[in-house]
Amino acid sequence: LKAKWLELPPHGGPCRCGQQAASGDAVDGAMGLNASSMFDDRSNLTKGLGACIRDLVRPTSEQLAASWAKHDPNSTGLLEQEEVMKVLLALLDMQIQAAQEAASHRKIEMAKQQAQMERESRRRRSELLAKPAGQVSREELDRSAALGMASKTSPVMAGMMAGYMDVPVTCLTALRDDKDLLEVRVGRLFAMAAVPSGQDGRLVVSRQDFTASYLELFDAAPRFLSECAGGAGERAGGTGDEATGDNSECSVQ
């Protein structure tokens, strides 16, 4: 998962962390200031979660089509309330499975990268220590030191990234397991968009209305969480429209 406070530079460029970079031997503030500045904004958590829900938890068009088709064999594009609930549950199961598979794949790749880094660190350090100090170049010394720091801290970063990768699974599981809210969601959809079907007058909703209603949840998540972080919301009479332009991103690399 790409964290916005960690920018990996092109080859040969400086690494910027928390939008601050080293410049020569200058030290910006006391030790630990740069690291702690990543977490100074109290809304970072809610912004990050909102972006992840919008970008990573949102279903694909293929998932939406497959879950609906499973319960609409005649392709009428219209379903009754009980069937729409089944579509919603099938869609969530489909999303959870895909998220689990993606997270597992990324974690395996990350473990391989971690092992490779540790091997390279040991090799570089061994080669450096085999030379007289006067024959060691500055580049060799700095490379070995950087690899040493990275190999020791890679388990910490790997744990953080593994947590990021579990966000979609955790979000979707929470959504699926709250059956009361799912029933209210489907019930409200029928109250707002249902139409009579055929001569028997059974109430149905269209696939388009179901899709639009479900996607609105993920599109609106950043705004709702931003309101929570800022102490805004209905109590303050705010509409939250100012948060809709948030361009935060959350993506698995």
CA dist., res. 242 & res. 249, Å (int)? 17
Q: Which of 121, 106, 112, 110 is nearest to 151 (CA)?
A: 121
Number of helices (H), then strands (E), belonging to the chain: the values are: 8, 5
- Which residues are bridge partners to 17 per DSSP? 6, 20
Confidence of residue 248 (pLDDT cuts 50, 70, 90): low
pLDDT one-digit tens code per residue, 52-86: 899 989 999 999 999 999 999 999 999 999 999 99
pLDDT one-digit tens code per residue, 145-170: 999 999 999 999 988 888 888 999 99
Question: In sequence order, which residues have a C-beta less than 8 Å from that of residue 14 and are 6 or more positions away?
Answer: 21, 22
Amino acid at 194: A
Q: How many CB atoms lie within 10 A of CB 95?
A: 24
Residue 97, helix vs strand vs coil: helix
Residue 167, helix vs strand vs coil: helix
Ramachandran bin of 91, using left for φ above 0, alpha for ψ from -120 to 50, beta for the remaining angles: alpha
The answer to whether residue 139 scores a pLDDT higher than 70 is yes
Q: Which of 97, 101, 102, 103 is nearest to 63 (CA)?
A: 97
Task: Supply the pLDDT for residue 44.
Answer: 80
Q: Which of 17, 23, 21 is nearest to 3 (CA)?
A: 17
Task: Supply the pLDDT for residue 249.
Answer: 54
Task: Supply the pLDDT for residue 201.
Answer: 84
Residues belonging to the chain: 253
Q: Buried b vs exposed e over 59-94: b needs ≥16 C-beta within 10 Å?
A: beeebbeebbeebbeeeeebbebebbbebbebbbeb
CA dist., res. 170 & res. 112, Å (int)? 24
Report pTM.
0.71
CA dist., res. 97 & res. 78, Å (int)? 26
Confidence of residue 252 (pLDDT cuts 50, 70, 90): very low
Find the distance separating the first CA and the last CA of the chain, reported in whole Å. 6
57 close to 218: Cβ distance less than 8 angstroms? yes
Share of the chain above pLDDT 70, in %: 73
Least confident segment among 128-142, 155-169, 184-198: 155-169
**Any idea which residue has 């919008």 for tokens?**
54
The answer to whether residue 13 scores a pLDDT higher than 90 is no
- Which residues are bridge partners to 203 per DSSP? 196
